[in-house]
Chain A
Amino acid sequence: MELSGAEIFLECLKAEKVDTIFGYPGGAVLFLYDALEKAEKENTIRHILARHEQGAVHAAEGYAKSTDKPGVAIVTSGPGATNAVTGIADAYMDSVPLVVITGQVNRDLIGRDAFQEIDIVGITRPCVKHNFLVTKLEELAPTMKKAFYLATSGRPGPVLVDIPKDLTAEKMAKADFSYPETITIRSYDPTTKGHPKQIRAAAKLIAQAKKPIIYSGGGVILSRAAEELIAFSHELDCPVTNTLMGLGAYPAMDKQFIGMLGMHGTYEANMAMHGADVVIAIGARFDDRVTGKLSKFCPDAKFIHIDIDPSSISKNVSADIPIVGDVKAVLPRLLAEYCSLGETIDANALKQWWRQVDEWRGQDSLAYNQKDDEPIMAQYVIDTLWQLTEGDAYITSDVGQHQMWAAQYYKFNKPNRWINSGGLGTMGFGLPAAMGVQLAHPNETVACITGDGSIQMCIQELATCNQYQLPLNIINLNNGYLGMVRQWQEFFYDKRYAMSYMDALPDFVKLAEAYGHVGMKIERPCDVEGALKEALSMKDRLVFLDIITKPEGNVFPMIPAGAGQNEMKLK
């Protein structure tokens, strides 16, 4: 018996327990598709045909971000591969575990500008965790094993495997094939436990704090350490803030939670960071959207920084106590160490600190006022969605004002529910990502919060949703503008709205219907709740809600570029 490269590829996917693969076929991957067809028949792996390779990769991201499995995508060589690059870069910036398979031209054609040849390994080198070009059939299985291992371990990320077409047709004896159970890569061994000395030093620093704050991020979600974070935070009883990527890692309804921090974070979160004396950064990477101007960032604080990637530590902000390790492993140790010190944070100081934080909270920086006879406010739509879904839906979003409002007004109590593009900020992410989420969770409510600009970037995926009967709720907050761009132009370019007006918008209702879905247009505040209820109740149809919102609404609070955390614009 012999196995072809394509059959070996399939065996590798099965061994990795892949149940869903997102992709788009083409010449270089035809043998692989032939094998996938077989898998489809055996009911082992289902292939989801996106309508653009970018959509396939974002869908794989949505699948991965909402589960504890890596996302898998397959595309053809040349244009298929280049179309996938935006998705790969997105996954790189947000540390999403992905394995992306690209077809490549025959080995003897490589380097000759063959039809649909592109050096995708070269193109993606700066935006993958690692990539491979497979040149020998016997290396295919070990390479696949390495790809899955690298994508999912340590700081997760996308790994690309480029497979020449002739290799997928080549055969080898079945007896010679086995999928490695484990693999070691001599140069790669992520530190997970955290150094005991550093953990001890951190515990001591915490015990001496008078104004401590926990600043936690996407790393807690990637580490599946929400429970550990909650236990740790409850023991310390200090304020907790999350980054955009960390939302849901700490329950938004918990009394210690003071909201998101950063450019569009709450007043209390940014003021508390600014005033803190000890900042405990947990799986967060001090992004510039969080720190604002570095010289004004947390002027009085000492930093404890827990991160699995040493290069995240002291990259932007120098850590006083760096702890390299996995949050899930480090937090229980840090907690135990803190509890065994025999000293804890001074209760009086903490009480005073909370008094101050509560005073900032009193500012109520997210308050809004929806009047019946005025245009619909995006804030109101999301607030209502949150209430109707009891905070338990999976929410994906695109990029812009609607994304910030979703982050501010949908109060996530659980991890892996908030799926958005933070690092790259990729418009077009929301819809395909929602497909991936819905495929992973067929019985859950999935809503995509989007804008009239973003939705048009991957709108073709509405066809995919039809083919696979994905009952998404698409909430298009239609302000007629590239709102986030317009907001910046209003504040920093004297209201010169260069190219930010979205002229010639399609009739979204008809568009949704043309793709076989339900479309509804909502123009009055009093219709919002009813429409959302109706959409949510249609469990077997995709509903596209085109909600006409206030054209020139702005996202507040806002830290203008160059300002400090305590210099927020509140309105």
Chain B
Amino acid sequence: MKTIQRHTISILLENESGALSRVAGLFSARGYNIESVNVSMTNDPSLSRMTLVTCGDEQTIEQIIKQLNKLVDVVKLMDLAEHKHIERELMMVKIAAKNIEACAAIKRIADIFRARIIDIANKTYTIEVTGGQAKIEAFLEAMNDHGIQEVVRSGALGIVRGSATLKVDEKA
């Protein structure tokens, strides 16, 4: 039996126009899944870092990693599933409270999840939550009865625990 597993892959990309679409194009052309993708700059202006969450059986994941490595714009990557790592996602949710009781309930749930209310207007709360996938999803579930108006998620970000790093080796 082929078991499907979720993998979070961290990628250092050349900070070049088109690099992102090479990665995105690879996934669509070869029919790989993308659950989420996040890309942003790093402390090194020549590099951007992408965190990509995909799923597939072992053979598919192996191909995905090989194909990514083959892209000239991919400088280095790491399959976080092979390491102890931390994953976080940031979500902002807009919730319209129906009445005063709902306002209190929303605030209570936010507290339980250590979410922060970052804006409020006309009984509409904008809440920021950070956490792993499970927490983010549990929060949405808990808020389900309260009129979720809008959800925006960053997609997962990941980093390895301990002193190991994903960085480009200095030139010898």
Contact = CB atoms under 8 A, between A and B. Distances in A.
A196 interface: no
Say which size band chain B's interface belongs to: 20 to 34
B29 A122 contact: no
Contacts of A43: none
Contacts of B116: none
Given A121-B18, A125-B21, A311 B66 contact: yes
A310 B66 contact: yes
A309 B25 CA distance: 20
Interface-centre pick from B18, B29, B69, B72 (highest chain A CB count, 10 A): B72
Nearest to B66: A311
B88 interface: no
Interface in B9-44: 14, 17-18, 21-22, 25, 29
Given A186-B168, A311-B67, A130 B72 contact: yes
Contacts, number: 38
A186 B18 contact: no
Nearest to B26: A126
Contact of A314 (B25, B59, B73): B59
B39 to A, nearest CB: 16
A188 B72 contact: yes
Contacts of B72: 129-130, 150, 185, 187-188
A135 to B, nearest CB: 9
A318 B17 CA distance: 35
B18 A125 contact: yes
B75 A186 contact: yes
Nearest to A318: B59
Given A130-B72, A186-B168, A187-B14, A315 B29 contact: no
Contacts of A318: 59
A310 B25 contact: no
B62 interface: yes
A350 B64 CA distance: 39
B74 interface: yes
A444 B91 CA distance: 68
B65 to A, nearest CB: 9
B74 A187 contact: yes
B70 interface: yes
A186 B16 CA distance: 14
Given A125-B22, A186-B168, A311 B29 contact: no
Contacts of A133: 17-18
Contacts of A315: 63
B76 interface: yes
A314 B62 contact: yes
Interface in A94-147: 121-122, 125-126, 129-130, 133
Given A186-B75, A315-B63, A310 B21 contact: no
A541 B21 CA distance: 49
A180 to B, nearest CB: 16
A121 B22 CA distance: 10
A130 B71 CA distance: 8
A121 B25 CA distance: 12
A122 B25 CA distance: 10
A185 B46 CA distance: 13
A126 B59 contact: no
Interface string B134-163: 000000000000000000000000000000
Given A125-B21, A125-B22, A187-B72, 14 more contacts: A121-B18, A122-B18, A122-B21, A125-B18, A126-B25, A130-B72, A133-B17, A186-B75, A186-B168, A187-B14, A187-B73, A311-B67, A311-B69, A314-B63
24 contacts: A122-B18, A122-B21, A125-B21, A125-B22, A125-B25, A126-B25, A129-B72, A150-B72, A185-B72, A186-B168, A187-B14, A187-B74, A187-B75, A187-B76, A188-B72, A310-B66, A310-B70, A311-B69, A311-B70, A314-B59, A314-B62, A314-B63, A315-B63, A318-B59
Interface of B: 14, 17-18, 21-22, 25, 29, 59, 62-63, 66-67, 69-70, 72-76, 168
